[in-house]
Amino acid sequence: MKEQWCLPKALGADFVWRMEDVLDLYAEPYNPLRPQVCIDERPCVLHADTIEPLAMKPGQPARYDYEYERHGTCNLFICFQPQRGWRLTQVTAQRTRSDFAHFLKDLVDVHFPQAEVIRVVLDNLNTHSFAALYATFSAPEARRIARKLEFHFTPKHASWLNMVEIELSVLVRQSLRQRIPDRERLKAVVKAWTDDRNQRCATIRWCFRVEDARTRLARFYL
């Protein structure tokens, strides 16, 4: 029975290596010259009311009709630096390699210009590669940006290791469970949430260490 819970040896080894790589990174002390950030994105569906909602009154919550109009989709990038309690959000029309490349360029040139290298935790999405930089910018510019970045990929089926997933969950619960009709409104909602979290330096207490993984996920080490 024990063996049926084990990954194939090659896959298990890859899972363990990537997991411990990310966990070791999280355990390092804060270094402003070598910042750690976690990046992810999510699609956002835009919905508009077909009937004007009834405003909230004393003793009565706001009321909405169940019908709505779908106004397409857009994309939300988020970068989270847990050691500082800082996050960056950006709404884009779509999720392409070019959008990802420009997001990385902003990190390097605008938000961390003094960093020697930015250590980036991210999942294995097809756009998450240095190739996105070369497909978007000239080769010298792509190489300049790439030299300031160090990618740390979470294992397949283990995006929970990326702390930004928790931050995205907070964003959805606190601000995105409402009908948002267009991209401009979404930008305003997300910016208000981002500014509030940054002002409070809200962060995550990550308690899962390599030692915990070797005990609680011992089956992946077999």
Whether the pLDDT of residue 104 is over 90: the answer is yes
| pLDDT tens-place string over residues 8-52 | 455 578 889 999 999 999 999 999 999 999 999 999 998 765 556
* DSSP β-ladder status, 36-49 and 68-81: antiparallel
Whether the pLDDT of residue 56 is over 90: the answer is no
- Model pLDDT, residue 175: 94
* Nearest alpha carbon to residue 24 among 212, 217, 209, 215: 209
Length of the chain: 222
Domains and CATH numbers, the chain: 7-52+65-216 (3.30.420.10)
Tell which wins on pLDDT, 22 or 54. 22
Whether the pLDDT of residue 59 is over 90: the answer is no
Q: Model confidence at 5, in pLDDT bands (50, 70, 90)?
A: very low
Distance CA 201, CA 208 (A): 21
Q: Which residues contact 79 (CB under 8 A, 6 or more apart)?
A: 37, 38, 39, 87, 88, 89, 103, 107, 111, 164
Distance CA 112, CA 108 (A): 5
Q: Which residues contact 26 (CB under 8 A, 6 or more apart)?
A: 36, 82, 163, 206
| pLDDT averaged over every residue in the chain | 89
- Model pLDDT, residue 1: 37
- Model pLDDT, residue 219: 81
Tell which wins on pLDDT, 12 or 187. 187
- Global pTM reads 0.86
- Model pLDDT, residue 200: 97
